[in-house]
Amino acid sequence: MARYEVPDGLYYTREHEWAKVLEDGTVLMGITDYAQEKLHDIVNIELPEVGARVRQMEAFASVDSVKATSEVYAPVSGEVIEVNEELLARPELLNQDPYGQGWIARIRPASSEELHGELEALMTADEYARYIEELEGKRV
């Protein structure tokens, strides 16, 4: 199923966020290709505050399509150390490049032990690809 892009090496949530562990141990996150395609026409984002502490799967941002507002969940716990302010002016980057220029936030986990425990709860690319395939299959 090549309809949605699901890059290898990232971790995925059931709410359609991706997480990428960077070399310095921090985690970059955003929404998946599947999420942006479902939302379509993204016109606004509400970003978290830099310095905010979030728990895994806590709603900490939201994106607006014309039609609806959707929560964005933190894929891992930690401190928000950077947000992509470019998105405030160009929310369409979330549609155009969800894994690149459309990244949303960078999170610093409290410890690598906690991070690795939490990553266990997320899906690999293969698992996520199967997951969205199932979701698509359920659609009437």
What residues contact residue 99 under an 8 Å CB cut-off, 6+ apart?
Answer: 5, 7, 10, 18, 30, 32, 33
Which 5-64 residues touch another protein, going by CB under 8 A? 40-41, 43-44, 46, 62, 64
Residue number, 5 or 46, with CB nearest to another protein: 46
Shortest distance, position 6 Cβ to another protein, whole Å: 21
As measured in angstroms, the least distance from the Cβ of 67 to another protein is: 6
Our CA angle for 98, 45, 13, nearest 5°, is: 50
Least gap, CB of 69 to another protein (angstroms): 6
Quick check: 135 binds another protein (CB under 8 A)?
no
Q: Is the dihedral of CA 101, 108, 54, 112 positive or negative?
A: positive
Q: Kindly report the backbone phi and psi dihedral angles of residue 86, in degrees, each rounded to the nearest multiple of 5, phi listed first.
A: -55, -30
- Contact residues for another protein, defined by CB under 8 A: 40-41, 43-44, 46, 62, 64-69, 88
